[in-house]
Amino acid sequence: MSINLLGTKIGMTQVFTNNGTCIPVTVLKVGPCMVTQIKTMSSDGYNAIQIGYAQIASHLLTKARLGHLNRVNAPSLKHLREYKTDSFNQFSVGQIIKVDVIKIGDKVNIQGNSIGKGFSGYQKRHNFSRGPMSHGCKNHRQPGSIGAGTTPGRVFPGKRMAGRLGGRKTKVKNLLVIDVNTEQNFMLVKGSVPGKPGAVVSIETN
């Protein structure tokens, strides 16, 4: 059964195995998450569960959000996320899902917003090579030709050019779980995770 959780990216560090191998890992604080709603085909037209994460002061939420949470006696949760599942019968409203559902050696998919880098040029955004640096050359970091001549007389849509880089939803698949701390709800995964430290990420088990 695929289980989805919400967590927070703490940062990156490294751990060493028994044979001395250094493994770069990302530290995540996972859950605890609460099931706040169960949607079924008969009531909503599809099967899904809604989970909440990160309790905050109630005055920071809208009345609509508070009314939705008070209906199931849930605390004031900042983040709500919905996941489609056919195993909704295994969940109940008010159920607490913790990091202990993930085991060492599992592979997870993690989704989050990548770090925004603002307006970036061709080399940084698309790994274009630069022009000649010799004397007299004036196209060091220029894009070069961007289209044909008279025919068709326009630039085709999707042309790789300078523009906004990062700040979009990104998913990294099959990250290996190195360690799990069930007491403090921490998890170590091998490799990097989208987003800055403190960003909220979605964790999906395979």
Q: What is the mean pLDDT of the chain?
A: 89
Residue at 196: amino acid letter: K
Q: What is the pLDDT of residues 78-111, one digit of tens each?
A: 999 998 888 777 888 888 888 888 889 889 999 9
Across 172-195, average pLDDT: 92
Sequence-ordered list of residues with C-beta below 8 angstroms from that of 26, at least 6 positions apart, any chain: 9, 10, 11, 12, 188, 189, 191, 192, 193
Query: In sequence order, what are the residues at sequence separation of 6 or more whose Cβ sits closer than 8 angstroms to the Cβ of residue 70?
Result: none
Domain ranges of the chain: 4-115+170-205, 117-143+158-165
- Quick one: pLDDT at residue 162? 93
All residues at 6 or more sequence positions from 157 whose CB lies less than 8 Å from its CB, including other chains: none
Task: List the single range of 80-89, 117-126, 152-161, 189-198 with lowest mean pLDDT.
Answer: 80-89
6-10, 84-88, 106-110, 157-161: the lowest-pLDDT one: 84-88
> What is the CATH T-level fold of the domain 4-115+170-205, as seen in this structure?
Elongation Factor Tu (Ef-tu); domain 3 (2.40.30)
More confident residue, 2 or 29: 29
Closest CA to 173 of 191, 146, 153, 148: 191
- pLDDT, residue 197, reads 93
Higher pLDDT, 41 or 118: 118
- The mean pLDDT value for 69-75 works out to 89
Which residue spans within 98-156 are E strands per DSSP? 107-113, 118-120
Please give the pLDDT value at position 89. Answer: 78
- Residue keyed to tokens 């609509």: 64
pLDDT at 1 over 70: no
| Pair of tokens at residue 192 | 């990097």
The pLDDT of residue 186 is 93
In a 3-state reduction of DSSP, which class is residue 10? Answer: strand
